[in-house]
Structure 1
Amino acid sequence: MGFAQLIMAMVSPIIARIFVTLGLSLVSFVGMDLLMDQVIATAQNAWGGLPAGILQLAGLAGVGQALSIIFGAIMTRVLIWNLSKTTRILSSNS
C-alpha cells in the first residue's frame, strides 16, 4: 500500500462523515426555516384580521417587536441545537 493510498484510507471516512453531517444540518435548517416561515405567515394573517383599534394598541405595546424576538430566539435555539448535534456526530469514533 502506497503513501497516497494510506492517506486516502485515513481521510475518506472523515470526509464522508463531514458531508453526512453537513447534509443533515442543511436538511434540518431548511425544514425549520420552512416551518418558521409558515408560522410567521399564519401569525401575519391572524394579525391582519384584527380590528384597527386593537392593532393600534398592540403596535403601541410593542407586540410586533415581541413576536420578532420570540421567533428569533426559537431559530437561534434550533441552530445551537443543530450545531451541538453536528459536533457530536463529527467527534464520534464510530
Structure 2
Amino acid sequence: MQFQWLFTFLSTVGAPLVKKVLVALGIGTVTMIGLTALSTAAKGFITAQVGGMPADVVQLLGVIKFDVAVNIIFSAFTTRATIAGVNKVTGSKSSLGSVGGS
C-alpha cells in the first residue's frame, strides 16, 4: 500500500472540505437567485406604481430625482446582502469603514 497516506488524507480532510465548499456554493447560488428575483419584482412594482401616476406627479418625481433615490436604496440593499454573505462565509466581520464624521 504505497499511497495509503494519500487515501487517508483525502478521506479525512478532502471529503469534508469538498462537502463544505459545495454546500456554500449551493447556498450562495440560491441566495443570489432569490435576491435577484426579489429585487426585480420590487423594481417592477415601483415602476408600475409610478407609471400609473398623473404626468405632473411623474415630472415632479423626475425633478426631485426619485429614480436616483430608488437606485441608491437598491444598491444599499445589494451591498448589505453581499457583505452579510461574505461575513457568513469567512466567519469574520468586515465593514466598509467609518460612515459617520468625527
Which TM-score bucket, shorter chain as reference?
A: 0.7 to 0.9
- Identity percentage of aligned residues: 28
Distance, in Å, in 2 between the alignment partners of 1:19 and 1:84 is 18
The CA deviation at 1:7 is 2.7
Aligned to 2:7: 5
2:34 match: secondary structure: helix
2:52 and 2:89 map into 1 onto residues whose CA distance is 41
Partner of 2:82: 79
Bigger relative contact order, structure 1 or 2, given CA contacts below 8 A and separation 6+? 1
1:45 aligns with 2:38: no
Q: TM-score, normalised by structure 2?
A: 0.80
Offset of residue 86 of structure 1: 1.8
Q: What's the offset of the Cα at 1:6?
A: 2.2
Mapped partners of 1:23, 1:87: distance in 2:
16
**Separation in 1, partners of 2:88, 2:29:** 13
Query: Secondary structure of the residue that 1:42 maps to in structure 2?
Result: helix
Structure 2 counterpart of 1:34, from 37, 42, 49: 37
Local SS of the residue matching 1:31: helix
1:87 CA displacement: 2.0
C-alpha separation between the residues in 2 aligned to 1:67 and 1:74?
A: 11
How many pairs does the alignment contain?
Answer: 88
- Which residue of the partner structure matches residue 22 of structure 2? 19
Runs of 4+ aligned residues of structure 1 deviating over 3 Å after TM superposition are none
1:92 paired residue number: none
Structure with the larger helix share: 1
TM-score, normalized by length of structure 1? 0.86
